[in-house]
Amino acid sequence: MKITIDDSSVYCYTNSRNIDSSKPSIVFIHGSGMDHTVWTLAARHFARHGNNVIAVDLPGHGRSTGAPLQSIPSMADWLEKVLDALEVEAAAVVGHSLGSLIALDFSARHAKRARALAMVGTIVPMPVSGAILDACKNNDHAAFDMLTQYGLSKRHQYGGNRSSGIWMVGSSLRLYERSQPGALYFDMNACNEYQNGLQSASAVECPVLMVLGSEDRLTPVRGTGPLQEAFHQPEVSVIQGAGHTLMMEAPNALLDALHRIL
């Protein structure tokens, strides 16, 4: 489905269905340099279980046109415009990595529009190393290589995808390689500069779920303590053996976790 926001075309994957106002809605937000396809399995699953699903391509990503947005708050405000255009009053918001910060900021500042919040592969603050930022800024393929290497657990870099014939390393690299030049830098820099995450977490009123990978090297479980404390009684699910890219590495375990709140 394509809609128009701020004179730009926005693509939303809806499992080829129109939005039904009688059904609950779930929004899925991808991570840095990626697009809606990372959420295809989860979106299809929840669509078949009686929900409207809206897996967005952020501006300048995937099938959405326009320039990439450069801050987490601007992305959260853009998400509200998407809901307005689709005439969705409130939705559960699910985000991975960068998407988790967008979902957090949205749920805090647009509280009436968020009925539940799920943060996947997350940490607050979410600092990005200077080496990765420099490589992203220079459109250096090394950025794709580093993020792919650290985004997957060591075990899953050797295969093991439950979907036969899909190579996780190659799939991640291809997503980065087909991204618009500069998009990955703006995304990673937005993560690095977002400093209001803990304050936002303390303002969230809806139910909260955090889904973390025990082997995540980009947003390690051990660093999520301040975020867990900032929320009011969040549910935390740690998926054993999984790294940062949980949608690829542990799709079934992720679905089981998401069912607890969605």
Question: What is the 3-class SS of 227-243, one letter each residue?
Answer: HHHHCCCCEEEEECCCC
At 116 the three-state DSSP class reads strand
Name the 3-class secondary structure at 96: strand
DSSP 68: P
Give me 32's structure tokens: 């840095």
Element (DSSP H or E) covering residue 91: strand 91-96
Contact 93, 117 (CB under 8 A): yes
pLDDT along the chain (262 residues), means of 10: 96 97 97 97 97 98 97 98 98 98 98 98 97 96 95 75 68 93 97 98 98 97 98 97 93 96 92
Secondary structure of the chain: what % helix, strand, coil (to 5)?
45, 15, 40
Q: What is the pLDDT of residue 256?
A: 97
Tell me which residue of 128, 122, 78 sits closest to 99, measured CA to CA: 122
Residue 195 token pair:
């400093």
Prediction pTM value: 0.96
Domain span holding position 143:
2-259
Query: What's the domain count of the chain?
Result: 1
Q: Which of 47, 124, 54, 37 is nearest to 94 (CA)?
A: 54
**Residue 3 burial class via C-beta count within 10 angstroms: exposed 0-12, middle 13-18, buried 19 and up:** middle
Q: Are 57 and 79 in contact (CB under 8 A)?
A: no
Return d(Cα 107, Cα 85) in angstroms, integer.
18
The pLDDT assigned to 156 comes to: 67
Measure the CA–CA gap between 111 and 159, rounded to whole angstroms. Answer: 40
Hunting for tokens 């090297």 — which residue is that? 217
Write down the pLDDT at residue 126.
98
The CATH number given to whatever domain includes residue 116 is: 3.40.50.1820
CB neighbour list of residue 22: distance below 8 Å, 6 or more residues apart: none
DSSP secondary structure code for residue 113 in this structure: G
Which pLDDT score is estimated for 122?
Answer: 98
pLDDT of the residue at 219: 98
Q: pLDDT at position 155, please?
A: 72
* Of 226, 234, 219, 236, residue with least CA distance to 126: 219
Question: Rounded CA gap, 127 and 125, in Å?
Answer: 6
- Taking the CB of residue 261, how many other CB atoms lie within 10 A of it? 19
Any idea what the Cα angle at residue 130 is, between residues 129 and 133, rounded to 5°? 90
